[in-house]
Amino acid sequence: MSDPTRPQGPKIIAVANQKGGVGKTTTTINLAAALVEAGKRVLVVDLDPQGNASTGFGIALDDREFTTYELLLEDIALDRLVQQTNHDGLYVIPATVDLSSADIELISNEKRSFLLHDALRQLQMDDFALDYILIDCPPSLNLLTVNAMIAAHSILVPLQSEFFALEGLSQLMMTVREVRQSGNKDLRIEGVVLTMYDRRNNLSQQVEQDARDTLGDVVFKTMIPRNVRVSEAPSFALPVLSYDSQSKGAMAYRALAQEILENNQN
């Protein structure tokens, strides 16, 4: 039986697309920063063995003693896993390449698909008083991504404004349907956000039109522009909102955060 005195847990959003290079990690980092700027407390769970989200928040490899590998497979206290970033109210559980072997180790575990779900709902999580948890998924539909989908309330899909962009979505949506049937019947699509959008480019405009015609209101009004400041920010281990607060990229991620906050008003 659930504890009625326990605070309502944070909203958990998995940022997922099995295609690489679509702006998934960039969106995770900058959406987290925008939500914090809007007064929310956010945890980023880096579930990608490349660990780019961790690097993007300035967490050096030497400082990643405990990571999402331990979150899934070891009994480590949360306060040893969760790291405070340089931004108040923004936390990260980092990742290293060790996570790439987790798929193999998970196979023999009876609860292999529910490990992240349970880890993010342990009582100790209440100590952080989080509003949102964003999970940066790997660019594949493996057991790690399935764990994220079962743990999450919703999925945010970054979609690059390029040829064949929509074709990869069908496999992702099929996986979402399977997860709904097997482990998380309430999983919903938070939305699809078009990334690397260039208004001057006919192809970008065509991809936008196709996405809106095919998916309707699932596509966010906000589109993330192709913006040099967004590309530069990770090399300084900063979200673009800190690197260049008034850039078009920063303003777009603020707008995306506002859309998500409005969609999640109770």
Hey, which residues does 225 pair with through a beta bridge? 197
Domains within the chain, CATH numbers bracketed: 11-255 (3.40.50.300)
pLDDT tens, residue by residue, 103-147: 788 888 778 899 999 999 999 999 999 999 999 999 988 899 999
pLDDT band at 7 (very low <50, low <70, confident <90, very high): low
Q: Do 24 and 158 contact (CB within 8 A), yes or no? A: yes
> Which tokens belong to 156?
């945010």
Residue 50, pLDDT above cutoff 50: yes
Q: What is the DSSP string of 42-56?
A: EEEEE--TT-HHHHH
Q: Do 147 and 115 contact (CB within 8 A), yes or no? A: yes
Mean pLDDT for the stretch of residues 236-244: 93
Mean pLDDT for the stretch of residues 38-42: 97
Which pTM was predicted? 0.94
State the chain's mean pLDDT as an integer: 91
Instruction: Give the residue ranges of DSSP H helices in the chain.
Output: 24-37, 52-56, 68-73, 78-81, 102-106, 115-119, 143-151, 169-182, 202-215, 228-232, 240-243, 248-263
pLDDT tens, residue by residue, 156-171: 999 988 877 777 788 8
